[in-house]
Amino acid sequence: MPKKLSNWVFRDVVGFLKAHGFGLHRVRGSEHFYKGVYGGEQRLVSVPFHGSKPIKPGTIKSIIVQSGIPETEWRADK
């Protein structure tokens, strides 16, 4: 069953990005920036850290666009 975009937390997003070759680039306040290459392009993804609270679906969609990883892979991950 595909994972919904409404129940991702910080550690889920970070684990998914790391599994796709992204690494921590810098931290600025509660924003963690992950850098990686996907689809032949250098990408920088901003992930908000708010403990174990779920990340809002609109923010998840923004993270998906920033990463360049197709949404189908994000939904298939769990």
Q: Where are the domains of the chain?
A: 14-76
Q: Is the pLDDT of residue 24 over 50?
A: yes
Query: What's the N-to-C CA distance of the chain in angstroms?
Result: 8
For 27-75, the pLDDT digits (tens) are 999 999 999 999 899 999 999 999 899 999 999 999 999 999 999 999 8
The secondary structure of 25-67 as a DSSP string is EEEETTEEEEEEEETTEEEEEEEE-BTBSPPPHHHHHHHHHHH
Q: What angle do CA 10, 23, 5 make, to 5 degrees?
A: 35
Task: Assign 78 a pLDDT band (cuts: 50, 70, 90).
Answer: low
pLDDT of residue 76: 81
pLDDT of residue 61: 95
Nearest to 14 by CA among 55, 57, 72: 55
Residues, the chain: 78
pLDDT of residue 4: 74
> Which fold does the domain 14-76 belong to in CATH?
Metal Transport, Frataxin; Chain A (3.30.920)
